[in-house]
Chains A and B, each alone.
Chain A
Amino acid sequence: MIMKEDDVKILTEPRLSLADQFYLPQVLIGLGTTMKHLVGVLGGKHRVIQYPEQRREDLPVDQGGMLKSTYHGVHRLNKDAQGRVKCVACFMCSTACPANCIHIEAAEALWDDREKYPLTFVIDELRCIYCGMCEEACPVDAIELTSLYDLIGFTRQEMIFDKAKLLEVFDRTVKAEPM
């Protein structure tokens, strides 16, 4: 549809006051604002967390800390009481994944309580956008996002997490964040 003359709303700029027109008073007010912040920081009123020494999970939320229970960090693959991987290789997570970063190869289950289990389960952590859709989609609560956020690697290959690595993340975090 093409715009008509009546559809155009014409806004006029507000007329500047005398002080606005002379710039300098308003400039001085602006300088005052920034000086207030500058003096505040020198007096210790800053909003910086000195990261490796201070960590967000150690701080209360109102001081910039993070809420561990809702944080979307590195994934883990949960294990059941017998120490088996909980995943049933239903592909719900990889279907839900908007970044297409979950790759599963299913195989005939070794146990009687399910049909399939994941032979391989690979998440490309570099591709992942940490939206948590996989966690939402999982029918057996097998995949979960932990609160670990400082994952590093020297190569891209290191950042592609396979099943063993994802299970290891479970072992590392299960105490702090039970299923």
Chain B
Amino acid sequence: MAIPDRLTVEPGAFRVRRSQKPFAARIVEDAWGYFFIAPSLLAFLVFSAYPMVDSILLSFHHLTLRTNEWVGLQNYADLSTNADFYLVLKNTALYLVLIVPVGVVLSVVLSVLVFRLSTRAQVFFKSAYYLPHVTAGVVLSFIWLYLYDPGFGLLDYVLQSLGFQPVLWLSNQSTSLLSIVVMYHAISWGGAIILITASLGGIPEHLYEAARIDGASQLRQTLAITLPLLKPAIAYVAITGTIGALQIFTEIYVMTGGGPNYATANLVFFIYDRGFTMFDFGSASAVAVFLLVVTVAVALIQFRIFSSDVEY
């Protein structure tokens, strides 16, 4: 099939199936594709790929400070019988479930609400939500440690003045993980809100006009137009949020040090303990590989959920 004469064809008709294009055209198309991804890919190969492969290889060795031997799947087998591993696995799953769905919904809802305001108000709110990201981590941890302090912190002070018993937020294994989750929510979604509000701006006005003319309510419009067209942005927030949730470390380390007795420790924490304090790098790498596999799996699932070739 010859390439259409561009002067007599309207847009839309120009789209031909790639499989129907002549071989040469496909090669050219390939080349241009590679061209555009080349710089990033090159950087990736040099600075990420090699160390990643190394880590994977390491998980099949037993490497302490002095020894180094191939042990095949031994590290993985050891993990499967380690009670701590299951504990941190459970915690990691908890973090994931408590953070990502709530966070995505929260970001979208806040973004949609903010987007309806005047320009000035929008600037104010978006700046406010983003501020925790430019505030140093040490500030955030100091504040939240104070909030949760069981003897003298603000939250318990409020509770006590209302007549309740103070709660040992961080020292109690039943509330510690939740406390960290709450803190995480309070400081993490500014970037997502920025992104989603930016995407909201990309939705053409005429779609809403058409819907309004048809008599659709605000809610209907949101559900039928806004959300579907936000899918790419939401996908991004969900996937990067997932990666973030699976890899939380700082907040845990600063607030509870993984305690009490690993009640708040997750897989990343486990990796740290095995690698650093136990000097068992092979085992630590095995956990890292496990985490990688889990993350990829969850991300793939989310990608399927959110995928939509929104071409219009």
The answer to whether A and B come from one shared complex is no
